[in-house]
Copies of this chain bind each other. A is one copy, B any other.
Amino acid sequence: VSELLRRLRERGWRITPQRRAIAHVLAGEHVHLTAEQVFESARSTVPEISLATVYNTLKELVAMGEVSEVANGGGPVRFDSNVERPHHHLTCLECGSLVDVYPEGERSLSLKDSHGYEVVGVTITYHGYCPDCTGEAAAPN
């Protein structure tokens, strides 16, 4: 009975086994799965779930703001259900690993020069090499 599922119910969503499984897979912090990974995990609970349903459901969750997308280089999009605690990401250019970074002191995101845009959010991603990839990858081919 995850928080996510509770909120979905409040929104009047029909709770199907597929959606329950997806919500369960996404629950928790530090979870950054691709659609494919969500599919594989959900499949262990609901074997008949289809990849299309996973994609469609994720898309809806993103649209309603319950889940956020995390672009990771050219690779597939990752999905992050931790939208309650604002945070940034740190990714490895070599292996694609991804961890959360909680801003301390909450750097001001105010834009003096917002160019007339109505800013509603920021995406901050740090790129680098994770402990496992440091060194080996330091010298690219």
Binding site for B on A (CB under 8 A): 71, 90, 92-93, 99, 101-102, 104, 107, 109, 111-131, 134
**By the criterion CB–CB under 8 Å, are A99 and B126 in contact?**
no
Residue of B99, B112, B119 touching A128 (CB-CB under 8 A)? B119
Query: Chain B contacts of A99 at CB under 8 A?
Result: 115, 117
Query: Chain B contacts of A130 at CB under 8 A?
Result: 115-117
The distance in angstroms between the C-alpha atoms of A92 and B116, with both chains bound, is: 11
Among residues of B, the one whose C-beta sits closest to the C-beta of A114 is B90
Query: Chain B contacts of A112 at CB under 8 A?
Result: 104
Query: Chain B contacts of A125 at CB under 8 A?
Result: 122-124
The distance in angstroms between the C-alpha atoms of A140 and B90, with both chains bound, is: 31
The distance in angstroms between the C-alpha atoms of A115 and B114, with both chains bound, is: 32
**By the criterion CB–CB under 8 Å, are A126 and B122 in contact?**
yes
